[in-house]
Amino acid sequence: MLRADKLSKIYLSPSGNVTALSDFSHSFQPGNITAIMGSSGSGKSTLLNVLAGLDTPSSGSVFLADKNISDLPEKERADMRLKSFGFVFQSFNLVAVMTALQNVAFPLGLASVAKTEREEKAKGLLERFGLGHRLHSLPYKLSGGERQRVALARALANNPDVIFADEPTGNLDSKSGKLVLEALRDVATEGRTVILVTHDVGLSQLADVVLEMHDGMLVNTHSGQSSTLKEKQVR
């Protein structure tokens, strides 16, 4: 479980301090997709960066399996991000000169996995997302939906506990976006924690939990459509 406890983030400025995040607390459950919503400047991106250990809070803590990751030295936080977290970005962030296979295998290389093993695992992940025929394609030869699925495969390379997705369908058409959402749902079903930032109301409705942010504060928490469907299935 990833848990945030009274997180605040204040940026110092000559014209006055800016509070980007204020007293945020929430527990993100494994097996769930949690959507973070809010207008520009609401604190969504700041929250994502602090939760992921890309930035440190001004106060409060982030816990992963009861370990306080906010107080870790940068090197230890970097190791944790490599092994425990996966990232999917709106702009894909694929290495342009690497094939799909090489992009997915890249984080495995950083984790010192042998070349043969990392290529086999990368191939398996790409095949899982319907990209077995695109192993040796460079990013510019892939559609937006294909690039995002490569990015998701790369995010899963080191078998992370948590997936962070920042506007994962923002640059995609509706058909490609649906494929990416289905892939994220599949990932959550495996017992991983999926946290995504989105402006898309339709996308948020497919989440299990929706967090609404305003002026750096959590102002509302409610169940998404997926949670409602689960409850009906249980009944």
Q: In this predicted structure, what is the pLDDT of residue 230?
A: 54
Q: In this predicted structure, what is the pLDDT of residue 173?
A: 82
Q: In this predicted structure, what is the pLDDT of residue 226?
A: 62
pLDDT at 78 over 70: yes
Distances (CA, A) of 64 to 1, 160, 189: 6, 12, 19
Contact 123/101 with Cβ under 8 angstroms? Answer: yes
Identify any residues that bridge with 64 across adjacent strands, giving them in sequence order: 2, 67
Q: Provide the domain limits for residue 37.
A: 2-234
Q: In this predicted structure, what is the pLDDT of residue 9?
A: 96
Instruction: Report the chain's mean pLDDT, rounded to a whole number.
Output: 89
Q: In this predicted structure, what is the pLDDT of residue 71?
A: 86
What is the CA angle 36-37-43, rounded to 5?
Answer: 80
CATH at 213 = 3.40.50.300
**CA 76/CA 49 separation, integer angstroms:** 16
In tens, the pLDDT along 153-197 reads 999 999 999 999 998 888 888 888 888 888 889 999 999 999 999
Least confident of 45-49, 75-79, 121-125, 231-235: 231-235
**CA 183/CA 113 separation, integer angstroms:** 25
**CA 42/CA 21 separation, integer angstroms:** 8
CA proximity to 213, closest of 7, 2, 65 = 7
Residue 233 φ/ψ, nearest 5 degrees: -65, -40
**CA 199/CA 182 separation, integer angstroms:** 18
The answer, as to whether pTM is greater than 0.85, is: yes
Higher pLDDT, 200 or 194: 194
In tens, the pLDDT along 104-161 reads 999 999 999 999 999 999 999 999 999 999 999 999 999 999 999 999 999 999 999 9
**CA 143/CA 191 separation, integer angstroms:** 29
Domains of the chain: total: 1
pLDDT at 235 over 80: no
Total residue length of the chain: 235
